[in-house]
């Protein structure tokens, strides 16, 4: 194998997870695959050390055993997240379909839907390397007993997709529990004991399914925290008082209701509602922009006078009667702005905690809320 085209492999010993960093040597654009929250400093350090600009964070699946650092990485680097479409990670900017190709510099990485460990799981092919997630492990394969996993689907993914790759392809799995680091398609075809029996004969699909259904593994320790967090790019939902509202609307008397930053982000991505950033232009320039939000000032600086053309700007930008979500800095100004929009005939929602969260409300919670501090996409000026 040409070493120039090997990824950098990192290991998280707590979850036995491999994270991969690949880059284009000329443009310095980089991709990171399956990053782990507790290893954020390591990964940011590596980007700095190699002089890289992170373009994409890719996930092979919504992990059950660790929390991703995807949201934190986009906040730190401005990268975009790409996740398999059937993993339902709704806030990810790029929803990968089978066969989709992402480019970084002059390099290409292709997504292949390899269902089985989870229904949405994918593998990624880059040059002579395949990142197999938990579809194919070294000498093994991922379990198929949660997250709509299927032993039948896994067998087909391995036989019909992964084992059709050239034998010399290097296999880089998402986990190894025995100290191994990489393998090859040729080696796995011959020696993987999940797919071959003790005589070295290929198992039938029925025999494989029987084997998988008899594994009886204990549940991953973190599954109940990890999966919900990973469906939101690793944003932890234990931060504050509004957490019970993460996915729910709290109705309000004078506008449609209060919603979390996460729900607002989801509605923005799905096109359900328009995000209106009502902070002053000066605040946005100083503090950070929310990509794809409409910027209409409510109070103008200096002096905090109400923008006299708020109504006209809103009407010009958003069709009458549609749904709007109001975002300010701490979640206070967005309430009268929501009331105003509602009175103009919109269905208006107030985003709790705003862009930065309410600094006073944070102290006793020990963690900041708000759009930015919950790791949702934003850009510094
Ligand atoms: N003891 C680990 C279990 C990890 C686990 O179940 N890993 C999954 C991948 S997310 C798997 O497929 N493992 C394969 C196996 O253990 O055979 C934990 O609690 O996190
Ligand atoms: Fe997994």
Task: Say whether pLDDT at 316 is over 60.
Answer: yes
Of the listed ligands, the closest to the CA of 137 is 1
- Residue 180 lies inside a defined structural domain of this protein: yes
- Residue 231 lies inside a defined structural domain of this protein: no
The pLDDT, as a whole number, for residue 271 is 83
**Model's pTM, two decimal places?**
0.69
Reported as half-sphere exposure (CB side, CA atoms, 13 A), residue 233 has a value of 28
CB 56 within 8 A of CB 213: no
- Residue 379 lies inside a defined structural domain of this protein: no
Q: Is 220 helix (H, G, I), strand (E, B) or coil?
A: coil
Question: Residue whose CA is closest, atom 1 of ligand 1?
Answer: 220
220 Cα–ligand 1 center, Å: 6
**pLDDT tens digits, 362-372:** 433 445 578 88
> For a substitution probing ligand 1, which of 60, 175, 194 has the most ligand atoms within 8 Å of its CB?
175
Residues 180 and 242 in one domain: no
283 Cβ contact partners less than 8 Å away, ≥ 6 residues apart: 301, 329
Question: Quick one: pLDDT band at residue 242, thresholds 50, 70, 90?
Answer: very low
Number of folded domains that form the chain: 2
Read off the CATH number of the domain in which 115 is found: 3.60.15.10
Pocket of ligand 1 (CB under 6 A): 15, 64-65, 134, 140, 142-143, 175, 217, 220-221
- Residue 205 lies inside a defined structural domain of this protein: yes
346 Cβ contact partners less than 8 Å away, ≥ 6 residues apart: 314, 318, 320, 321, 322, 323, 324
Residues 102 and 207 in one domain: yes
Q: Per-residue pLDDT averaged across 269-279, rounded?
A: 92
CA–CA separation, 114 and 28 (whole Å) = 29
Q: Pick the last residue of a domain from 198, 223, 248.
A: 223
363 Cβ contact partners less than 8 Å away, ≥ 6 residues apart: none
Read off the CATH number of the domain in which 287 is found: 3.40.250.10
- Residue 306 lies inside a defined structural domain of this protein: yes
Q: Pick the last residue of a domain from 192, 223, 254.
A: 223
Domain ranges, residue 246: 237-373
219 Cα–ligand 1 center, Å: 8
For a pLDDT cut of 70, what percent of the chain falls above it? Answer: 93
The pLDDT, as a whole number, for residue 241 is 42
Residues 311 and 188 in one domain: no
Residues 102 and 77 in one domain: yes
The pLDDT, as a whole number, for residue 156 is 98
The pLDDT, as a whole number, for residue 339 is 97
The vertex-332 CA angle with 330 and 336, nearest 5°, equals 145
**Which contiguous run of DSSP H or E holds residue 40?**
helix 40-50
CA–CA separation, 307 and 120 (whole Å) = 46
- Residue 228 lies inside a defined structural domain of this protein: no
- Residue 232 lies inside a defined structural domain of this protein: no
Residue whose C-alpha is closest to residue 104's, from 182, 17, 175, 33: 33
Residues 217 and 161 in one domain: yes
Mean pLDDT for the chain overall: 91
* Pick from 130-144, 150-164, 180-194, 245-259: least confident: 245-259
The pLDDT, as a whole number, for residue 171 is 98
Residues 219 and 241 in one domain: no
Residues 340 and 209 in one domain: no
CA–CA separation, 194 and 151 (whole Å) = 11
* Pick from 46-55, 121-130, 266-275: least confident: 266-275
Strands 299-300 vs 305-306: parallel, antiparallel or unpaired:
antiparallel
Residues 299 and 189 in one domain: no
203 Cα–ligand 2 center, Å: 23
Backbone angles phi, psi at 27, to 5 degrees: -80, -20
- Between 97 and 268, the more confident residue is 97
Handedness of CA 199, 202, 207, 209 (dihedral sign): positive
Q: Per-residue pLDDT averaged across 27-40, rounded?
A: 97
Residues 321 and 205 in one domain: no
What b/e readout covers 298-307, taking b as 16+ CB neighbours within 10 angstroms? bbbeeeeeeb
CB 195 within 8 A of CB 158: yes
- Between 115 and 92, the more confident residue is 115
374 Cα–ligand 2 center, Å: 24
CA–CA separation, 198 and 191 (whole Å) = 10
Question: Quick one: pLDDT band at residue 205, thresholds 50, 70, 90?
Answer: very high
Q: Pick the last residue of a domain from 223, 254, 272.
A: 223
Question: Quick one: pLDDT band at residue 286, thresholds 50, 70, 90?
Answer: confident
Exposed, middle or buried, 203 (CB in 10 Å: 0-12/13-18/19+)? Answer: middle
Residues 275 and 218 in one domain: no
Task: Say whether pLDDT at 108 is over 60.
Answer: yes
Residues 297 and 264 in one domain: yes
Show contacts of 9-13: CB within 8 Å, 24+ apart.
9/172, 9/181, 9/182, 10/39, 10/42, 10/43, 10/46, 11/181, 12/36, 12/38, 12/39, 12/66
CA–CA separation, 352 and 97 (whole Å) = 33
Q: Per-residue pLDDT averaged across 142-159, rounded?
A: 96
Q: How far is CA 281 from the centre of its chain?
A: 29
CA–CA separation, 223 and 294 (whole Å) = 37
- Residue 355 lies inside a defined structural domain of this protein: yes
The pLDDT, as a whole number, for residue 291 is 87
Question: Quick one: pLDDT band at residue 211, thresholds 50, 70, 90?
Answer: very high
Question: Quick one: pLDDT band at residue 359, thresholds 50, 70, 90?
Answer: low
What Rg do the C-alpha atoms of the chain give, in angstroms? Answer: 23
The pLDDT, as a whole number, for residue 364 is 36
Residues 300 and 353 in one domain: yes
The pLDDT, as a whole number, for residue 369 is 73
Backbone angles phi, psi at 96, to 5 degrees: -80, 130
């Amino acid at each position: 194998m040409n070493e120039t085209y090997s990824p950098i492999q990192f290991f998280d010993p707590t979850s036995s997870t491999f994270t991969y960093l690949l880059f284009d040597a000329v443009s310095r654009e980089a991709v990171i695959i399956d990053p782990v929250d507790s290893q954020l400093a390591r990964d940011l350090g590596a980007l700095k050390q190699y002089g890289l600009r992170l373009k994409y964070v890719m996930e092979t699946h919504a992990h059950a055993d660790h929390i991703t650092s995807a949201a934190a990485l986009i906040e730190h680097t401005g990268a975009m997240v790409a996740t398999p479409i059937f993993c339902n990670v709704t806030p990810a900017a790029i929803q990968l379909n089978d066969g989709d190709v992402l480019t970084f510099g002059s390099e290409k990485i292709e997504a292949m839907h390899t269902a089985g460990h989870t229904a949405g799981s994918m593998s990624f092919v880059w040059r002579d390397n395949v990142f197999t997630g938990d579809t194919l492990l070294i000498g093994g394969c991922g379990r198929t007993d949660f997250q709509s996993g299927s032993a039948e689907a896994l067998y087909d993914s391995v036989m019909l997709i992964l084992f059709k790759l050239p034998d010399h392809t290097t296999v880089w799995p998402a986990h190894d529990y025995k100290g191994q680091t990489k393998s090859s398609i040729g080696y796995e075809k011959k020696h993987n004991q999940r797919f071959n029996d003790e005589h070295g004969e290929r198992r039938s699909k029925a025999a494989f399914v029987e084997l998988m259904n008899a594994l009886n593994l204990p549940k991953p320790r973190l599954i109940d925290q990890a999966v919900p967090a990973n469906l939101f790019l690793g944003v932890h939902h234990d931060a504050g008082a509004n957490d019970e509202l993460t996915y729910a609307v709290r109705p309000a008397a004078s506008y449609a209701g209060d919603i979390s930053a996460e729900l607002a982000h989801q509605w923005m991505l799905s096109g359900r509602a328009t995000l209106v950033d009502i902070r002053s232009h000066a605040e946005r320039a100083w503090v950070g922009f929310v990509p794809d939000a409409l910027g209409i000032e409510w109070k103008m600086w200096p002096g905090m006078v109400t923008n006299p053309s708020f109504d006209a700007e809103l009407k010009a930008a958003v069709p009458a009667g549609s749904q709007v979500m109001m975002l300010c800095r701490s979640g206070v100004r967005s309430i009268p702005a929501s009331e105003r929009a509602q009175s103009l005939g919109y269905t208006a929602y107030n985003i709790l905690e705003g862009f930065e969260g309410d600094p006073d409300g944070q102290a006793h919670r020990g963690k900041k809320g708000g759009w930015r501090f919950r790791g949702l996409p934003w850009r510094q000026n």
